[in-house]
Amino acid sequence: MEDYKEYLLKAKNRRDNGNTLARNTALSYHNKLKTTLKRAYKEGKLRTDINAGIDSIKEQESQRNFLTLNEAKKLFATPCSKEIVFRISMFSTLTGMRYSDIAKLTWSEVQYREDDGYYIRFKQKKTEGLQTMPISIEAFETLGERATDNDKVFTGLKKWDVDRVLPVWIAQAGITKHITFHCFRHTYATLQIFSGTDIFTISKMLGHKSVKTTQIYTKIIDEKKREASLRISFK
């Protein structure tokens, strides 16, 4: 196990020749094996809990790019060559949903209660946790015309279109930041914090298992506050 850990930390990235695996990617692979050993012990296939004696790879804090409110407004005021890319980008920014969950979303998961409004009840692909997420009318309107329950909401969606269209659209909006689709989820979280939403509510909305995962966004806001504090000077 220790040898495997060392291998992961030095292994070459097959997608990026010359570079090693990102630390958090190595962590993900290592944790899968640790989880397997833990389950094997619980099921009686191992006499000792080997997993308990293995230190995990330390997580590396990654940079999370996001759009400011003005940048988001600027982007969505800019025409996009692919309507479906425009719609899912706006929907993710308004809800914080991951691409994987948006891509598999069906109309049966989009529900309405008269006393509670629109919400989405779905199973997260990444965590497999069942999530009930209230959504705004504006977010609901991006979904388009309702079809049958088993139909996907965003029909014809292809990851290739997103990867191809998004960088061009971002550039056309005059935004120079490196923005991927996942950055819309970061944008949702940071805008919620800027708006005063408490960290526990945001954690639930994002479907995080632990509030510690969400706290990274408070660090981003603290950095912005520091930047703001240095903008006024009489020297």
Q: Per residue of the chain (235 residues), give pLDDT as tens.
A: 888 888 888 888 877 666 888 887 888 888 899 899 999 999 999 999 988 888 887 766 555 688 989 999 999 999 999 999 999 999 999 999 989 999 999 999 999 988 889 989 887 776 667 778 889 999 999 999 999 999 999 999 999 999 999 999 999 999 999 899 999 998 998 888 888 888 788 888 887 777 776 767 776 666 666 666 666 555 6
Whole-number pLDDT of residue 230? 60
Would residue 60 count as lying in a domain?
Answer: no
Residues 212 and 186 in one domain: yes
- N-term to C-term CA, the chain: 57
Q: Which of 18-25's residues contact partners 24+ apart within 8 Å by CB, and which partners?
A: 22/60, 23/57, 23/58, 23/59, 23/60, 24/59, 24/60, 24/62
What pLDDT is attached to residue 213?
A: 67
Task: Kindly state the tokens that stand for 130.
Answer: 């069942």
Q: How far apart are CA 102 and CA 85, in angstroms?
A: 11
Helix, strand, coil in percent for the chain, rounding step 5:
50, 10, 40
Check if the beta carbon of residue 172 is closer than 8 Å to that of residue 82: no
pLDDT at residue number 51: 85
CA 32 to CA 52: how far, in whole Å?
Answer: 14
Q: Are residues 38 and 138 in the same domain?
A: no
pLDDT attached to residue 164: 94
Q: Residue 22 is part of which domain span?
A: 2-53
Indicate whether 49 belongs to any domain.
Answer: yes
> Would residue 59 count as lying in a domain?
no
Distance CA 25, CA 10 (A): 12
Check residue 63 and give its pLDDT.
59
102 and 149 housed in the same domain: yes
What DSSP designation does 133 have? Answer: E
Which residues neighbour 81 within 8 Å (Cβ) at sequence distance 6 or greater? 165, 168, 169
Question: What is the count of structural domains for the chain?
Answer: 2
Residue with tokens 């981003």: 220
Are residues 44 and 112 both part of a single domain? no
pLDDT, residue 60, reads: 61
Residues with Cβ within 8 Å of 14's Cβ and at least 6 positions away in sequence, in order, are none
The answer to the question of residue 184 being in a domain is: yes
174 located within any domain:
yes
Full-model pTM = 0.69
Same domain, 16 and 106: no
From residue 230, give the alpha-carbon distance in Å to each of 79, 218, 223, 224, 226: 35, 19, 11, 10, 7
Same domain, 79 and 130: yes
Do 90 and 198 lie in a common domain?
yes
- Contact (CB, 8 A) for 100 and 111: no
* Predicted pLDDT at 9: 87
Which domain CATH number covers 129? Answer: 1.10.443.10
Q: Does one domain contain both 49 and 108?
A: no
